[in-house]
């Protein structure tokens, strides 16, 4: 299954990122706010301007785009680096900013016991493994699907690798951030076949979003 | 979907208990009869086009010594070879994972004999390569039909590949495919000129590969002169109709990158040949200067062909002038391979690429009974089957207990006619029409 000809299909992440993306998309000519209000719980709808929209779980956006079911999508760098997919990522939208970080209990912040296998709880096993291997550490990765902060508190793990935004969740659970692995933001992602077969339309989207993002950055810089 | 198509999906498979046995290794697939027949028809039509352009078919072996085969593979692909130890010698043997190194080996072995200096050799093949499944590329077998052209290093030879791919795809009814052309020299030389540490260069290639302009600027910002950063970052945007080659020329004029400029002009020369010789094909061309993957394989033109409905390129190819050097002969080489699975997806999406219609088929069902009578019925059926086959029809004989089950079986196996040899000696003729099976007057 590849792209539907002559129509641009967007895979958009349900939730917080979508709210931040909506004004950017509108500025670039893709007006989804009215449709979002009127579609109720529908996960697939067409815009009056002709585009099709799929609303999917954020972590699934790259899957839809890589398989060509959607031509373009919006996905966080955390998801992209974890999944390692074959996609184009032409525009950093500058939204959904946070960081992938290592954290551990406050009382061990001075240093972990040496000579043991480091146990790391995370929702991002590949990113975590890459990070530790680069430091010459072979950790035991303990994959979790949520509430990763519980890992060190309960003794399941020594450290966690997780997304950190304000750091408030860490503080409330007596964890401290010890290292930033990489900065995260949301990207426009594009399917490789669509970039060729729908080249003019895709180029318009890329340029529209890039211009919008750059203007925003300039305004922010000017107001500071 | 045609009725034949449905037949493939209807192949009932009994549920297997996978704790007892797994039916197939990960990445292996069966091609069932309808798909398989369409596959054969596509393969043969493509080989006929290649033959028409002077390519002669060869069949290299499925086994190679790993050390020899891997010389012609990229590092990633070498890792994905299926390997084992050869009994008696202890040498490592690999299943073929790419045909191009094999043909390079075949030709290099014959330089000075069958292949004289200055000769051009054109060979084609239909072959299956085996690769360990990897990521979403979970197919372990790659079914390809391809060509290799050895001995010429000119824009005309490169343009020939483009023309050949277009003719081959058009012969199967493809109308909406697009060529995506790049030249490894542009990105490679530009990156080489930056004198980056190896790890940074690798990361740069990864970011260029994703067209992550911001990422490229972040990576190079503090390391290189602004004009150089601009030139490399701009590669992320240099894709589209061939007119972008002019923009690329201006961009490269501003930096010290003579070899990258030469590569760009090589690509331009190829595009111009296609525009002059086959304007209709030129309409399908797109250029992508940010394409930097496949560096350890291609040396010049790199081509991918995309078609609606297929999420992978239907054709991959290009120029690999040091491929034969790896096997001891110095000859330029180029080639292309059509991915039959991706092509099938595209043709199905466009509702073309049907196999030539199969001959009409009749099933002859013989009802068992006491031995001598059954023998006589079987002999009469064999005689009828032979005469149907002489008329160009398909015919086969089955032993079946009841006429109802014979009719069901005939439908499932794609027969339009049934002849029933009952145990009482009577013969019934049945035909399948729009309303199902009906008995014909005898």
- Report whether pLDDT(A5) > 90: no
What is the spatial distance between Cα B380 and Cα B395, in angstroms, rounded to a whole number? Answer: 13
Q: Which one of 2.40.30.200, 3.90.1150.10, 3.40.190.10, 3.40.50.10260 gives the CATH number of domain A9-96+185-223?
A: 3.40.190.10
What is the spatial distance between Cα B422 and Cα B404, in angstroms, rounded to a whole number? Answer: 12
Q: Which one of 3.40.1410.10, 3.40.50.300, 3.40.50.800, 3.40.50.2000 gives the CATH number of domain B361-440?
A: 3.40.50.800
pLDDT, residue B5, reads 47
- Report whether pLDDT(B400) > 60: yes
What is the spatial distance between Cα A11 and Cα A74, in angstroms, rounded to a whole number? Answer: 7
Neighbours of B13 (CB within 10 A): 7
Give chain A positions within 8 Å (CB) of B239: 195, 199
What is the spatial distance between Cα A162 and Cα A178, in angstroms, rounded to a whole number? Answer: 12
What is the spatial distance between Cα B364 and Cα B378, in angstroms, rounded to a whole number? Answer: 9
The stretch B288-300 carries a mean pLDDT of 83
- CATH 3.30.930.10 domain residues, chain B: 35-349
pLDDT, residue B6, reads 47
Task: Please name every residue paired with A177 in a beta bridge, in sequence order, or none if there are none.
Answer: A103
- Report whether pLDDT(B136) > 70: no
Selecting from B180, B308, B313 the residue whose C-beta is nearest the C-beta of A3 gives B308
Q: Which of A129-138, B105-114, B127-136, B153-162 reaches the highest mean pLDDT?
A: B153-162
What is the spatial distance between Cα B181 and Cα B245, in angstroms, rounded to a whole number? Answer: 11
- The sign one gets for the Cα dihedral A69, A71, A74, A76 is positive
The stretch B218-247 carries a mean pLDDT of 90
What is the spatial distance between Cα B303 and Cα B168, in angstroms, rounded to a whole number? Answer: 15
CB of A77 within 8 Å of any CB in chain B? Answer: no
Mutation to test the B interface, candidates A89, A95, A186, A211, most B Cβ within 10 Å: A89
- Report whether pLDDT(A206) > 50: yes
All residues at 6 or more sequence positions from B217 whose CB lies less than 8 Å from its CB, including other chains: B229, B233
Q: Do A2 and B308 touch (CB under 8 A)?
A: yes
Domain B35-349, CATH: 3.30.930.10
Tell me how close the Cα of A115 comes to any Cα of chain B, in angstroms.
Answer: 30
Return the closest-CA partner of residue B240 out of A212, A80, A90.
A90
Q: Tell me the angle at which helices B244-253 and B226-235 cross, rounded to the nearest 10 degrees.
A: 160
- Do A124 and A161 contact (CB within 8 A), yes or no? yes
- Report whether pLDDT(B301) > 50: yes
Return the closest-CA partner of residue B350 out of A191, A4, A70, A201.
A4
| Average pLDDT of chain B, as a whole number | 90
Kindly report, residue by residue over B38-80, the tens digit of the pLDDT.
Answer: 999 999 999 999 999 999 999 999 999 999 999 999 988 999 9
Q: Comparing B24 with B344, which gets the higher pLDDT?
A: B344
Kindly report, residue by residue over A97-132, the tens digit of the pLDDT.
Answer: 999 999 999 887 666 666 678 999 999 999 999 999
Q: Do B239 and A92 touch (CB under 8 A)?
A: no
The stretch A152-162 carries a mean pLDDT of 92
What is the ipTM score, two decimals?
Answer: 0.84
Residue ranges of the annotated binding site of B for L-histidine are: 98-100, 131, 144, 148, 293, 297-298
Is residue A50 classed exposed, middle or buried when 0-12, 13-18 and 19+ CB atoms within 10 A define those classes? exposed
In the DSSP assignment, the letter for residue A18 is H
Q: Do B180 and A203 touch (CB under 8 A)?
A: no
Kindly report, residue by residue over B406-432, the tens digit of the pLDDT.
Answer: 999 999 898 999 999 999 999 999 999
Which three-class secondary structure state does DSSP give residue A69? coil
Domain limits, chain A: 9-96+185-223, 98-182
Q: A99-130: string of b/e by CB count within 10 Å (b at 16+)?
A: bbbbbbbeeeeeeeeeeeebbbbbbbbebbbe
Q: What percent of chain B has pLDDT above 70? A: 94
- Do B83 and B92 contact (CB within 8 A), yes or no? yes
Give chain B positions within 8 Å (CB) of A192: 306
What is the spatial distance between Cα B336 and Cα B313, in angstroms, rounded to a whole number? Answer: 12
- CATH 3.40.50.800 domain residues, chain B: 361-440
Kindly report, residue by residue over A167-181, the tens digit of the pLDDT.
Answer: 999 999 999 999 999
Which three-class secondary structure state does DSSP give residue A39? coil
Residue B312: closest C-alpha in chain A? A193
Q: Do A190 and B211 touch (CB under 8 A)?
A: yes
Kindly report, residue by residue over B157-216, the tens digit of the pLDDT.
Answer: 999 999 999 999 999 999 999 999 999 999 888 888 888 999 999 999 999 999 999 899
What is the spatial distance between Cα B73 and Cα B76, in angstroms, rounded to a whole number? Answer: 8
Selecting from A89, A91, A196 the residue whose C-beta is nearest the C-beta of B178 gives A196
pLDDT, residue A2, reads 45
pLDDT, residue B14, reads 61
pLDDT, residue B197, reads 93
CA–chain centroid gap for A220, Å, is: 22
Is residue A187 classed exposed, middle or buried when 0-12, 13-18 and 19+ CB atoms within 10 A define those classes? buried
In the block, residue with structure tokens 């490169």: B158
**SS3 per residue for chain B:** CCHHHHHHHHCCCCCCCCCCCCCCCCCCCCCCHHHHHHHHHHHHHHHHHHHHCCCEECCCCCEEEHHHHHCCCCHHHHHCCCEEECCCCCCEEEECCCCHHHHHHHHHHCECCCECCCCCEEEEEEEEEECCCECCECCCEEEEEEEEEECCCCHHHHHHHHHHHHHHHHHCCCCCCEEEEEEHHHHHHHHHCCCCCHHHHHHHHHHHHCCCHHHHHHHHCCCCCHHHHHHHHHHCCCEECCCHHHHHHHHHHCCCCHHHHHHHHHHHHHHHHHHHHCHHHHCCEEEECCCCCCCCCCCCEEEEEECCCCCCCCEEEEECCCCCHHHCCCCCEEEEEEEHHHHHHHHHHCCCCCCCCCCCEEEEEECCCCHHHHHHHHHHHHHHHHHHHHCCCEEEEEECCCHHHHHHHHHHCCCCEEEEECCCCCEEEEEEECCEEEEECC
Q: Which two tokens stand for residue B289?
A: 């200067």
Fold classified for A98-182: D-Maltodextrin-Binding Protein; domain 2 (3.40.190)
The stretch A202-211 carries a mean pLDDT of 94
pLDDT, residue B23, reads 76
In the block, residue with structure tokens 């795809």: B169
State the pLDDT confidence band at B84, using cuts at 50, 70 and 90. very high
Max Cα separation, chain B? 95
Provide the pairing of β-strand B56-57 with B121-130.
parallel
- Report whether pLDDT(B9) > 70: no
Kindly report, residue by residue over B317-356, the tens digit of the pLDDT.
Answer: 999 999 999 999 999 999 999 999 999 999 988 887 677 7
- The sign one gets for the Cα dihedral B136, B140, B146, B151 is positive
């Amino acid at each position: 299954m590849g792209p539907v000809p002559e129509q641009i299909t967007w895979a958009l992440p349900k939730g917080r990122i979508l709210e931040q993306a909506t004004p950017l998309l509108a500025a670039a000519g893709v007006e989804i706010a009215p449709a979002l209000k009127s579609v109720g719980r529908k996960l697939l709808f067409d815009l009056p301007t002709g585009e099709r929209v799929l609303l999917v779980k954020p972590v699934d956006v790259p899957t839809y785009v890589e398989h060509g079911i959607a031509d373009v999508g919006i996905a966080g760098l955390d998801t992209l680096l974890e999944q390692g997919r074959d996609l184009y990522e032409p525009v950093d939208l500058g939204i959904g900013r946070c960081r992938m970080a290592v954290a551990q209990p406050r009382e061990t912040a001075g240093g972990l016991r040496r000579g043991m296998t480091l146990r790391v709880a995370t929702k991002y096993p590949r990113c975590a493994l890459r990070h530790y291997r680069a430091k010459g550490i072979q950790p035991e990765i303990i994959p979790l699907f949520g509430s990763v902060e519980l890992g060190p508190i309960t003794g399941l793990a020594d450290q966690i690798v997780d997304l950190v935004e304000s750091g408030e969740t860490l503080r409330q659970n007596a964890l401290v951030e010890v290292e930033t692995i990489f900065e995260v933001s949301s990207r426009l992602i594009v399917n490789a076949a669509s970039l060729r077969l729908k080249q003019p339309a895709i180029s318009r989207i890329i340029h529209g979003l890039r211009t919008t993002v750059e203007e925003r950055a300039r305004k922010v810089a000017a107001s500071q | 979907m045609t009725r034949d198509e449905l037949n493939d999906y209807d192949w009932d498979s009994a549920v297997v208990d996978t704790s007892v046995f797994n039916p197939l290794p990960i990445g292996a697939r069966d091609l069932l009869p309808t798909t398989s027949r369409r596959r054969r028809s596509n393969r043969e039509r493509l080989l006929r086009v290649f033959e028409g352009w002077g390519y002669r078919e060869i069949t290299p072996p499925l086994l190679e010594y790993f050390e020899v085969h891997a010389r012609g593979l990229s590092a990633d692909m070498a890792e994905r070879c299926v390997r084992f130890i050869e009994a008696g010698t202890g040498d490592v043997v690999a299943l073929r994972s790419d045909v191009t190194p094999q043909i390079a080996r075949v030709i290099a072995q014959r330089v000075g004999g069958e292949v004289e200096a200055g000769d051009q050799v054109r060979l084609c093949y239909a072959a299956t390569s085996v690769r360990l499944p990897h990521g979403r590329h979970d197919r372990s077998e790659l079914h390809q039909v391809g060509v290799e052209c050895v001995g010429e290093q000119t824009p005309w030879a490169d343009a020939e590949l483009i023309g050949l791919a277009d003719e081959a795809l058009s012969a199967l009814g493809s109308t909406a495919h697009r060529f995506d052309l790049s030249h490894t020299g542009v990105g490679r030389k530009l990156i080489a000129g930056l004198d980056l540490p190896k790890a940074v260069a690798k990361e740069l290639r990864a970011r260029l590969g994703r067209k992550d302009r911001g990422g490229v600027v972040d990576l190079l910002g503090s390391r290189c002169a602004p004009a150089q950063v601009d030139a490399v970052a701009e590669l992320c945007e240099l894709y589209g109709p061939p007119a972008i080659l002019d923009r690329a020329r201006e961009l490269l004029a501003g930096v010290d990158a003579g070899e990258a400029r030469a590569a760009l002009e090589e690509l331009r020369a190829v595009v111009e040949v296609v525009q002059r010789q086959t304007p209709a094909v030129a309409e399908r061309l797109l250029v992508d200067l940010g394409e930097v993957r496949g560096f350890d394989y291609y040396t010049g033109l790199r081509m991918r062909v995309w078609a609606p409905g297929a999420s992978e390129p239907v054709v991959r190819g290009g120029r690999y002038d040091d491929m034969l050097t790896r096997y001891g002969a110095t000859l330029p080489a180029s080639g292309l391979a059509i991915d039959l699975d991706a092509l099938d997806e595209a043709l199905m999406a466009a509702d073309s690429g049907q196999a030539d219609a199969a001959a009409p088929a009749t099933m002859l069902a013989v009802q068992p009974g006491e031995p001598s009578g059954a023998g006589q019925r079987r002999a009469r059926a064999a005689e009828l089957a032979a005469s149907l086959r002489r008329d160009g029809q398909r015919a086969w004989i089955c032993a079946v207990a009841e006429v109802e089950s014979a009719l069901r079986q005939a439908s499932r196996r794609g027969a339009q006619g049934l002849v029933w040899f009952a145990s009482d000696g009577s013969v019934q003729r049945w035909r399948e029409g729009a309303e199902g099976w009906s008995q014909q007057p005898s």
